[in-house]
Amino acid sequence: MPSSPRLSPAQDDVVRRWFPAVEVIADLSWGLTDTVVLHVRHDGTRSIIKAGGPANHHIGREITAHERWTTPWRESGRSARLLHADRELNILATGYLPGTLVKEHPAADDPDTYRQAGELLARFHAQESTVSLDYESTMDAKALAWLDSEHRIDAVTETRLRDAIATHDHEPAELVPTHGDWQPRNWLVHEGRVSVIDLGRADLRPALTDLARLARQEWQGRPDLEEAFLAGYGGDPRETAAWQRTLLREAIATAVWAYQFGDEPFEAQGHRMIAQALGLG
């Protein structure tokens, strides 16, 4: 494999040790962050390599998720197997999953896709749980930190957001393994079966947080997709007050992150989410 300009020399060396004579088939990186995603071939087998810079927390989260939580998916062929990992160098390699991204595929409009996604998420959430006394206060502090950073939220709206956060209750929260970015861009479909990729945001959180992005995107105007998902999941984990807090924080993080990384369409979505969370849209 020719040296990749997007891998550090040490990361490039470890890939060569893992996979001698490896060949890069495609660079699947998004380009918005320093996360590198390479589709490679070695000894007739295809794999995925993911790497990040020293400050990138996504690779470590993905390694942890593979080590602790992907068994229910992996056993049914719904997620890749972790092949190699080096936490110090912030790099991992997994097996290759066949399929096409559900996003912008006809499967994105098929209720059965969402039924399967609900079933898969229920298995993931059911593996363990713990109660946190400071989750809610920590999440509010993070939301305020986003507002303290550079963004394009107008001053009146920012004041309303800060006032809303100030009213939040900080109740104990039940935390379960969550994917963190549960939406069609992280699902594959192959021969009608849905599988899961990209665990870079996996962490212990309330179960309802994994529904936030679907609720503000794919479920808008599509109650059939929401109903199919909840049927697959086996119920609805959303409690009204906690759900409202989650949507507000998600909206702030989306608008600010997208601005800081130059993703204008995603930033616009974040501003729409803010208006919805404040009851303005």
Predicted pLDDT of residue 33: 75
Nearest alpha-carbon partner for 26 in 63, 43, 1: 1
Domain 9-97 in CATH 3.30.559.10: no
Q: Which CATH number fits domain 101-277: 3.30.390.10, 2.40.30.260, 3.90.1200.10, 3.40.630.30?
A: 3.90.1200.10
User: pLDDT in tens for each of the 281 residues of the chain?
Assistant: 544 557 999 999 999 999 998 999 999 987 767 899 999 999 899 999 999 999 999 999 999 999 999 999 999 999 999 999 999 999 999 999 999 999 989 999 999 999 999 999 999 999 999 999 999 999 999 999 999 999 999 999 999 999 999 999 999 999 999 999 999 999 999 999 999 999 999 999 999 999 999 999 999 999 999 999 999 999 999 999 999 999 999 999 999 999 999 999 999 999 999 999 998 75
Pairing mode, if any, of strands 45-51 and 130-132?
unpaired
Q: Return the domain boundaries, the chain.
A: 9-97, 101-277
Query: What does the pLDDT read at residue 4?
Result: 56
Contact 168, 249 (CB under 8 A): no
> What gap in Å lies between CA 48 and CA 95, rounded to an integer?
6
What is the C-alpha separation between 116 and 122, in angstroms, rounded?
10
* Confidence at residue 281, expressed as pLDDT on a 0 to 100 scale: 56
**What pLDDT is recorded for position 2?**
47
Are 223 and 111 contacting, i.e. CB atoms less than 8 angstroms apart? no
Q: Which residue has the tokens 């996604």?
A: 117
Torsion angle, CA of 113/60/258/28, rounded to 10 degrees? -60
* pLDDT at site 30: 78
Rounded Cα–Cα distance for residues 215 and 238 (Å): 11
Angle CA 133–139–143, to nearest 5: 155
